[in-house]
Structure 1
Amino acid sequence: MFLDSAKNIKEIHVNAPGALNVIKQTLVGPDQGWAGWVMRLFTVAPEGHTPRHSHSWPHINYIVSGEGIMYLDGQEHPVEPGYTAYIPGGTEHQFINRGHQDFVLICIVPEEGDV
């Protein structure tokens, strides 16, 4: 069993090529007892973005706060709190903050995707 506040979970600045002003927190994963899967919280600061990329594993996403753009296979989709998405493996994607406050989203991936 695991219980904690996201306020207490380590923030990691994402330094991947193509990322700008992105923080990742690993909320629940194998270290907390959830073998095979990882739930992460990403905070994208204003004018920030994740890398535009694709990979073999799927994503499940939930927008927590802020407004942003979800780029999927060549199209930009405005998203706001309450939006959910399933992104199949092999789909080019990116999260972009074009707002004036943090854009925060939950991302669940198989353990192999938590790189």
Structure 2
Amino acid sequence: MFVSHVSKIEKIPMNAPGVSGATRQSLIGPAQGWEGWVMRQFSLSSGGHTPRHTHSWPHINYVLSGEGVLFLDGQEHKVAPGSVAYIPGGAEHQFMNKGDQELTFICIVPEEGDK
């Protein structure tokens, strides 16, 4: 069993090619008893973005706050609080903050996607 609050979980700045103004928090995963999966929270500052990339594993996303764009397989989709997305393995994707406030979203991936 695991109970905590997002404010108590370390925000790790993302420093990789193609990333700007992004932090990541690993909220729940194998260390908390959820074997095989990881729920993460990403925060993008105004103008921030994740890299445009692909990988073999799928993931699901839920936008908590802010406004932005999800680039997915050649199309841009506006996202705002309540937006959901399923991104299959192999799909090129990128999140971009297009608003003035922080864009925050949940991302759930198989454990292999959080290494």
TM class, shorter-length: over 0.9
State the alpha-carbon separation in 2 of the partners of residues 68 and 98 from structure 1.
5
User: 3-state DSSP class of the match of 1:108?
Assistant: strand
Aligned ranges 1:64-103 → 2 under 5 Å: 64-103=64-103
Number of equivalenced pairs: 115
Matching of residue 17 in structure 1 with residue 1 in structure 2: no
Secondary structure class of the residue paired with 2:99: coil
Q: Aligned equivalents of 2:66 and 2:77: distance in 1?
A: 14
| Cα offset, 1:87, TM superposition | 0.4
Give structure 1 regions of 4+ aligned residues with deviation exceeding 2 angstroms: none
Which runs of 5 or more residues in structure 1 are unaligned?
none
Q: In structure 1, what is the equivalent of residue 29 of structure 2? A: 29
Amino acid at match of 1:50: T
Deviations 1:13-39 (A, max 9, x none): 011210000000000000000000000
- Map of 1:112 onto structure 2: 112
Distance in 1, matches of 2:74 and 2:85, equals 16
Is the partner of 1:35 in helix, strand or coil?
Answer: coil
Secondary structure in structure 1 of the residue aligned to 2:55: coil
Task: Give unpaired runs (5+ residues) of structure 2.
Answer: none
Q: Secondary structure at the match of 2:41?
A: strand
1:91-115 deviation line (CA, Å, top 9, x unaligned): 0000000100000000000000003
SS at match of 1:7: helix
Query: TM-score, length-normalised on structure 2?
Result: 0.99
CA RMSD of superposed structures (Å): 0.5
